Structure 1
Amino acid sequence: MPLVTLSDVLQPALKRGHAVAGLVTLGWEDMRAYVAAAEAENVPVILQAGPSCRDHTPLPVLGKMFRYLAEGSSVPVVAHLDHGYTADECREALESGFTSLMFDGSRLPLQQNIDETAAIAEMAHAAGISCEGEIGFVGYADGESSAGTDPDEAAQFARDTKVDAMAISVGNVHLQENKEGGLDEPRIRAIEALTPVPLVIHGGSGVPMAQRQHLARTSKICKYNIGTELRMAFGQALRAAVNSDPSRFDRVQILKDTHDPLVAATRTVLQGFKGDDPC
């Protein structure tokens, strides 16, 4: 089926009480495994091209890869730019066939973040695609600290930018390798009481599975970004494939051995966000 927009999958999730996984891609091997897992679970999937992915593979190439996978898929697929930092980068993604743009102005002063995000949202909507924005900086494990989202500022941001989804900072961090943390549920409830916009959790790998499941069903959190735990699964599978036969040197044969383990790990992630009727 053809690519769909972020709104196409998040609005049903909001109404039916489930969430959709935004899966961070780094290359062909993981993105095709993610689509295979989504098909096996019969759920939509959001393929995300973040900064490190774009440093490795140009946006026009990524757009063609996402579109190829979507056209052969039995489930809805979103081609999503993750953490676009400039208008030019967002425009290039749009021109490359992406169906969703995430502009990250979370480090900017509030009004500047609103103004710049609103401009990206207007550009996206004029092209018939979706826009995600971020209010409240989400930090990094062993790196920059987070700045929690203020509920009143979130309401203003959602209203003035007209984004289709809003990423918030509520105890989540990027690149966390364990699930010992947890989200600030009172802050989430305060934010969702003030806005109807679907909410997004970046750094979803660090959120305990039980809390992911609970909030996917009971809150306006409709999208969790998952990267680190699946990168870890891929790395473990790749290491096992390399070590299984030290004489092998054909990378295609080696990489094929990562497919099934990554599909299995991805299916486990996707199962945690299901509702009664996810598609």
Structure 2
Amino acid sequence: MEIRLCDNIVRFRKSKGYTQEELAKKLNISSQAVSKWENAQSLPDIALLPALAGILETDIDTLMGYIPKKKMVTPYEDRYNAKEYYWGTMPNEMCMEVLRRYYPTRPLRLLEVGCGEGKDAVFFARNGYQVTAFDVTESGIEKARRLADIHQADIDFFRADLRDFRLDEDFDIIYSSGVFHHILPELRDEIMENYRSHTASGGMHAVNVFVEKPFIPEPPDSDLCSRNWASGELFTCYKDWMIEECREVIFDCNSSGIPHKHCMDTVFARKMPDRKGE
């Protein structure tokens, strides 16, 4: 999968509310030059990259779609460095639900967003899905590859930050568990639309998110780079899809070694063929 500079320029420009002409003026270049960058007809001069990144309030690495190995963007980078598997190696219960709802009687392409140490990706690959999976942590990806090797599971693992990465190919299933609270509210519409638009007709999303509740204290292993969703917010992302099931549960957790609670919304939604023109 490819993270293209042209896509990132478009996305960051629009997020700042700049037109092509306004961005060009700030860089003292023509608007035609910006248009060519965004249409992948040419690349910015290397001397312009620092100014371009500064105007778009990002950095060159992010603009280029590259995450340096030493750049830690989540505390899970350290947590996954331990010998044992932080979340264990048993697959999430959601995996069995996906298997039951969309069994791979034909080759089905499945993307796991935020695969961590790989336990769910390995489960899907061992059960016949064609699996692609990414995570922001280098340590997580390394352990995921080791786990896949142990089980002789063929999985395309790669490292990416879901806040910066966008899909450019379609999948039959997009699966993610306990990850989307890292998508800040101002990015949710854009990212969810990207995932919906790159889901094949008849395809499925199986997603859960942590939900904010005033009567549940902040968990001891939370980090500053996340924001819980509002109750029911996830379900509205699929208003034009067939929602096969949606639920909200409060459960006990001991992931940090300190007992605490979470509230989580889960949805299984199917992208149905558009028949408006019939």
> Normalising by the residue count of structure 1, what TM-score does the alignment of the two structures yield?
0.32
- Is the strand fraction higher in 1 or 2? 2
Of the two, which has the highest radius of gyration? 2
- Is the helix fraction higher in 1 or 2? 1
Greater relative CO, 1 or 2 (CA 8 Å, sep 6+): 1
